[in-house]
Amino acid sequence: MAPVTPFSRGRKLPCATLSVEYGKGFTKNRLEAHDDALNADSRVVIFDDVIASGKTMVAAVELVGTSITREPVSPTLVFVPLTPIHRACAADKFGAALVECVALADMPELHGLRRLQGTPLFVLLPDV
Protein backbone atom coordinates (compact mmCIF):
# COMPACT_ATOMS: atom_id res chain seq x y z
CA MET A 1 0.00 0.00 0.00
CA ALA A 2 1.27 3.44 -0.90
CA PRO A 3 1.89 6.02 1.85
CA VAL A 4 -0.60 8.87 2.12
CA THR A 5 0.49 12.46 2.80
CA PRO A 6 -2.15 15.12 3.43
CA PHE A 7 -1.55 18.69 2.35
CA SER A 8 -3.26 21.23 4.58
CA ARG A 9 -4.37 24.79 4.19
CA GLY A 10 -3.17 27.46 6.56
CA ARG A 11 -0.86 26.41 9.40
CA LYS A 12 -2.94 23.50 10.68
CA LEU A 13 -0.24 20.81 10.79
CA PRO A 14 1.46 20.16 14.15
CA CYS A 15 5.09 19.69 13.02
CA ALA A 16 7.58 21.62 10.90
CA THR A 17 6.27 22.19 7.38
CA LEU A 18 7.18 23.26 3.87
CA SER A 19 4.61 25.54 2.30
CA VAL A 20 3.51 27.51 -0.73
CA GLU A 21 1.77 30.85 -0.37
CA TYR A 22 -0.93 31.50 -2.94
CA GLY A 23 -3.60 34.02 -3.75
CA LYS A 24 -3.60 37.78 -4.12
CA GLY A 25 -4.29 40.70 -1.82
CA PHE A 26 -6.58 39.81 1.06
CA THR A 27 -7.12 36.23 -0.14
CA LYS A 28 -3.55 34.99 0.45
CA ASN A 29 -3.40 31.51 1.90
CA ARG A 30 -0.90 28.73 2.40
CA LEU A 31 -0.75 25.10 1.26
CA GLU A 32 1.59 23.04 3.45
CA ALA A 33 2.89 19.57 4.23
CA HIS A 34 5.14 18.15 6.91
CA ASP A 35 8.73 18.86 5.91
CA ASP A 36 9.63 15.15 6.09
CA ALA A 37 6.58 13.97 4.10
CA LEU A 38 8.36 13.72 0.74
CA ASN A 39 11.90 13.74 -0.56
CA ALA A 40 13.72 13.80 -3.88
CA ASP A 41 13.19 10.03 -4.29
CA SER A 42 9.40 10.28 -3.82
CA ARG A 43 7.07 9.55 -6.73
CA VAL A 44 3.75 11.30 -6.16
CA VAL A 45 0.11 11.09 -7.27
CA ILE A 46 -1.89 14.19 -6.26
CA PHE A 47 -5.64 13.86 -5.58
CA ASP A 48 -8.14 16.73 -5.45
CA ASP A 49 -11.92 16.71 -5.38
CA VAL A 50 -12.78 19.24 -8.10
CA ILE A 51 -10.77 21.22 -10.61
CA ALA A 52 -12.40 24.64 -10.74
CA SER A 53 -9.84 27.36 -11.45
CA GLY A 54 -7.02 24.77 -11.27
CA LYS A 55 -4.99 26.88 -8.86
CA THR A 56 -5.08 24.34 -6.00
CA MET A 57 -3.70 21.58 -8.18
CA VAL A 58 -1.05 23.92 -9.61
CA ALA A 59 0.01 24.91 -6.07
CA ALA A 60 0.20 21.24 -5.03
CA VAL A 61 2.30 20.38 -8.11
CA GLU A 62 4.66 23.25 -7.30
CA LEU A 63 4.97 22.15 -3.67
CA VAL A 64 5.67 18.52 -4.64
CA GLY A 65 8.22 19.28 -7.36
CA THR A 66 8.44 20.00 -11.03
CA SER A 67 9.84 16.82 -12.56
CA ILE A 68 7.45 14.31 -14.13
CA THR A 69 8.17 10.59 -14.20
CA ARG A 70 6.81 7.85 -16.44
CA GLU A 71 8.59 5.06 -14.57
CA PRO A 72 6.43 2.34 -12.97
CA VAL A 73 6.62 3.12 -9.27
CA SER A 74 4.74 2.78 -6.01
CA PRO A 75 3.79 6.44 -5.50
CA THR A 76 3.04 8.45 -2.38
CA LEU A 77 -0.58 9.61 -2.46
CA VAL A 78 -1.07 13.31 -1.69
CA PHE A 79 -4.49 14.72 -0.87
CA VAL A 80 -4.99 18.44 -1.21
CA PRO A 81 -7.55 20.13 1.06
CA LEU A 82 -11.21 20.01 0.15
CA THR A 83 -11.64 23.77 0.36
CA PRO A 84 -12.35 26.66 -2.02
CA ILE A 85 -10.10 26.55 -5.05
CA HIS A 86 -9.14 30.17 -5.82
CA ARG A 87 -5.35 30.10 -5.49
CA ALA A 88 -2.07 30.83 -7.22
CA CYS A 89 1.18 28.90 -6.96
CA ALA A 90 4.77 29.36 -5.81
CA ALA A 91 8.13 27.62 -6.15
CA ASP A 92 9.10 23.95 -6.05
CA LYS A 93 9.79 22.76 -2.48
CA PHE A 94 10.24 18.99 -2.11
CA GLY A 95 11.89 18.16 -5.44
CA ALA A 96 9.85 14.95 -5.77
CA ALA A 97 8.69 13.52 -9.10
CA LEU A 98 5.05 13.82 -10.13
CA VAL A 99 3.47 10.65 -11.50
CA GLU A 100 -0.08 11.92 -12.06
CA CYS A 101 -2.73 14.36 -10.86
CA VAL A 102 -6.21 12.97 -10.28
CA ALA A 103 -9.50 14.79 -9.70
CA LEU A 104 -13.03 13.53 -9.28
CA ALA A 105 -14.57 16.26 -11.43
CA ASP A 106 -13.83 19.29 -13.58
CA MET A 107 -15.85 22.48 -13.82
CA PRO A 108 -15.09 23.37 -17.47
CA GLU A 109 -16.72 26.81 -17.34
CA LEU A 110 -13.91 27.93 -14.97
CA HIS A 111 -11.14 26.78 -17.37
CA GLY A 112 -8.98 25.15 -14.69
CA LEU A 113 -7.60 22.56 -17.10
CA ARG A 114 -5.82 25.35 -19.02
CA ARG A 115 -3.55 25.93 -16.02
CA LEU A 116 -2.67 22.24 -15.95
CA GLN A 117 -1.63 21.81 -19.59
CA GLY A 118 1.48 19.66 -19.75
CA THR A 119 0.71 18.08 -16.37
CA PRO A 120 -0.28 14.39 -16.39
CA LEU A 121 -3.92 14.52 -15.31
CA PHE A 122 -6.88 12.15 -15.04
CA VAL A 123 -10.39 13.49 -14.33
CA LEU A 124 -13.04 10.89 -13.46
CA LEU A 125 -16.02 13.14 -14.36
CA PRO A 126 -14.65 15.67 -16.88
CA ASP A 127 -17.88 17.57 -17.59
CA VAL A 128 -19.81 18.12 -14.35
Q: What is the pLDDT of residues 76-110, one digit of tens each?
A: 666 665 433 322 333 357 878 888 889 999 999 98
Nearest CA among 5, 20, 1, 8 for reference residue 93? 20
pLDDT of residue 90: 30
Least confident of 43-47, 69-73, 115-119: 69-73
- As a three-state string, the secondary structure of 21-69 is EECCHHHCEEEEEECCCCCCCCEEEEEEEEECCCHHHHHHHHHHCCEEC
Other Cβ atoms within 10 Å of 15 Cβ, number: 9
Residues spanned by the domain of 109:
4-125
pTM summary value: 0.74
What is the tally of structural domains in the chain? 1
User: What percentage of residues in the chain have a pLDDT greater than 90?
Assistant: 4
Q: Whole-number mean pLDDT of the chain?
A: 75
CATH at 98: 3.40.50.2020
> Which residues have C-beta within 8 Å of that of residue 59, sequence separation ≥ 6?
20, 22, 31, 80, 87, 88, 89, 90
pLDDT of residue 105: 92
pLDDT of residue 66: 61
pLDDT of residue 48: 87
What mean pLDDT is predicted for residues 43-51? 86
